[in-house]
Amino acid sequence: MLWKEHQPRFALQGVIDGDALPWLAEVQEKAKLGEAIAIDCTRLVRMDFAAAGSVLNWAAQMQELGHVLQFSQLHQLLAVFFNVVGVQEHAQVIPRRD
């Protein structure tokens, strides 16, 4: 999937504990049906297991609606965590290089 420069960018940031759906609500509201969605995670510090599980369920739901998802600039440990939880089955997970 090629990502267009004019495509809306969303972000996850800070510490996300428990349900991540409040953080993802804006993305779901603003995304057009079937649109590719890029989520910048540069400023995401930490996420607990429950939040990662809700991201997994949300990503699966969005994929069913025809969206192509990308979580980019994840800290290396968060990228591994996303992959262990299974997010990579429904979204592209791109760690940052620093």
Set out the domains of the chain in order of their start, with CATH numbers. 9-95 (3.30.750.24)
Query: What's the pLDDT at 9?
Result: 75
pLDDT of residue 67: 92
Span 61-77, average pLDDT: 94
Q: Is the pLDDT confidence value at 5 over 50?
A: no
How much is the mean pLDDT over the chain?
90
Average pLDDT of the segment spanning 36-48: 94
Contact 16, 51 (CB under 8 A): yes
Q: Which residue has the higher pLDDT, 33 or 82?
A: 82
pLDDT at residue 8 in the model: 47
- Does residue 47 contact residue 24 with C-beta atoms inside 8 Å? no
